[in-house]
Amino acid sequence: MTPTIKDVAAHAGFSIATVSRAINAPHTVNPVTLDKVRQSIDALNFRPSPLGRQLRGERTRLIGVILPTLANPVFAECLQGIDELASAQGYRLMLMTTQYDADRERRAIETLREHRVEGLILTVADADTHPLLDELDRAGLLYVLMHNDTVRRPSVSVDNRLAAYDGVRMLIAHGHRRILMLAGTLAASDRARLRHLGYAQAMQQAGLAPAPALEIDFNADELVPSVLAHLAGGMNRPTALFCSNDLLAMVVIRGLRRAGLQIPGDMSILGFDGLAVGELLQPPLASICAPNREIGCSAWQRLLARIDGSYTDASLSLTLPHSLREGATIAAISSTSSSVGDTSRQRSMQPLT
């Protein structure tokens, strides 16, 4: 049973009013009393209800934002969209990052709840089966997910499977047959898993054998030698790589160039995100573009509508359109060169061990 403020009062040996003051106005409470109340709160794992405070009219106008990282500009673009609208409407943001770590996600949510945020905008590893989101649902704390492609929870994203499908179809249309997908750990990203499904569907519809995704550390700024050797060596290497995000694509391009390969002459590269910085590369990066700033803006608008009670959309999820930026990291490949080594495609496209 979830502990209540009455349970805390009984455990600490004080009145409910004293415990309430300790929570809401700690500066008015004797330090010894405050310490005893906090010990009882910790012992019972009590969390004050932000919803209850809202119902009493105690507004903080504070919104929590939880992102995996700011090292990837895709999340910074989303944050910019949120901040521009929220600040214009008198709200403040409190930001925390998690690196897709479950313990850090829990601590971030608990910290933001303790700061009495009125709602959360967040990106998590797996939206459909996330116990922390289930807890938020039970607690009544309003939230909207960004980039998590799910119909089960309030969310704003692109259709990751369809977007990847369209991108890989573009590679196939350029004559590529040996196409490999690179991603971070699939277990850490529901988006990467959906993108691999889109990759596999496009390959299968073209009569090609999809390969398991080559999973690498999405935080690394260098390809490890074994991965680089796998990508760059041999006659049967892939002719095109589909990278699950633009930042990874940039790391791959640098590694392949250092290994002596030309982009796109020796290998074509397709990213995912549509980061503006990709167009500044030489050659400009081909990418599946998501409207990142608009995702942030839409997440804010949907959260605000839920907070003020004006939300009327029957659908929990909002899917925004993606687009393809062809870029110059994709080159057409002749039918002759694309068929070289096809008889051993199954062997050459096996996962790295």
Domain CATH number, residue 192? 3.40.50.2300
- Predicted pLDDT at 50: 52
Rounded distance between C-alpha atoms, residue 141 and residue 93, angstroms: 16
On whether residue 234 sits in a domain, the answer given is yes
pLDDT at residue 93, as a whole number: 97
- Buried b / exposed e across 267-304, counting CB within 10 Å, b at 16+? bbbbbbbbbeebeebeeebbbbbbbbbebbbbbbbbbb
Look at residue 51 and tell me whether its pLDDT is greater than 80: no
Q: What is the pLDDT of residue 58?
A: 60
Name the burial class of residue 341, with classes exposed (0-12), middle (13-18) and buried (19+) by CB atoms within 10 angstroms of its CB.
Answer: middle
* pLDDT confidence of residue 345: 36
> Is residue 205 included in any domain, yes or no?
yes
Q: Does residue 222 have a pLDDT over 80?
A: yes
Q: What is the pLDDT of residue 126?
A: 85
With bands split at pLDDT 50, 70 and 90, how would you rate the model's confidence at 49? low
Same-domain status, 337 and 199:
yes
Sheet bearing 214-215, strands edge to edge? 214-215, 179-183, 240-243, 268-273, 286-289, 323-325
Q: Is 243 exposed, middle or buried (0-12, 13-18, 19+ CB in 10 A)?
A: buried
Greater confidence (290 vs 31) lies with 290
Domain shared by 188 and 328, yes or no:
yes
pTM for the whole structure: 0.79
- List pLDDT tens digits, range 167-196: 999 999 999 999 999 998 888 789 999 999
Q: Residues 340, 199: one domain?
A: yes
- Which of 151, 69, 91, 84 lies closest to 296 in space, CA to CA? 84
Q: Does the pLDDT at position 61 exceed 60?
A: yes
Residue 16 sits in a domain whose CATH number is: 1.10.260.40
Domain that holds residue 35: 1-46
Whether 79 is in a domain gets the answer no
* Same domain? 40 vs 169: no
| Residue 301 domain-assigned (yes or no) | no
Say if 228 falls within a structural domain. Answer: yes
Count how many domains the chain has.
2
Residue 25 pLDDT: 66
Task: Judge residue 156's burial from the number of C-beta atoms within 10 Å of its C-beta, 0-12 exposed, 13-18 middle, 19 or more buried.
Answer: buried
What is the overall mean pLDDT for the chain?
88
Beta bridge partners of 144: 121
Q: Do the strands 286-289 and 323-325 form a parallel or antiparallel pair, or are they unpaired? A: antiparallel
Asked if residue 256 belongs to a domain, the reply is yes
pLDDT for 298 equals: 97
Give the model confidence (pLDDT) of 248-282 as tens digits.
999 999 999 999 999 999 999 999 999 999 999 99
Task: For residue 218, give the amino acid letter.
Answer: F
What angle is formed at CA 143 by the lines to CA 140 and CA 144, rounded to 5 degrees? 150
Strands 240-243, 179-183: pairing is parallel
**Residue 276 belongs to a domain:** yes
Exposure of 347 by Cβ count < 10 A (0-12 exposed, 13-18 middle, 19+ buried)?
exposed
Q: Choose between 206 and 52: higher pLDDT.
A: 206
pLDDT at residue 98 greater than cutoff 60: yes
Could you tell me if residue 185 is inside a domain?
yes
The tens digit of pLDDT for each residue in 330-343 reads 999 875 344 434 43
Residues 35 and 164 in one domain: no
Range list of β-strands (E), 107-262: 119-122, 143-146, 155-157, 179-183, 214-215, 240-243
Of residues 232 and 211, more confidence is placed in 211
pLDDT cut 70: percent of the chain above it: 90
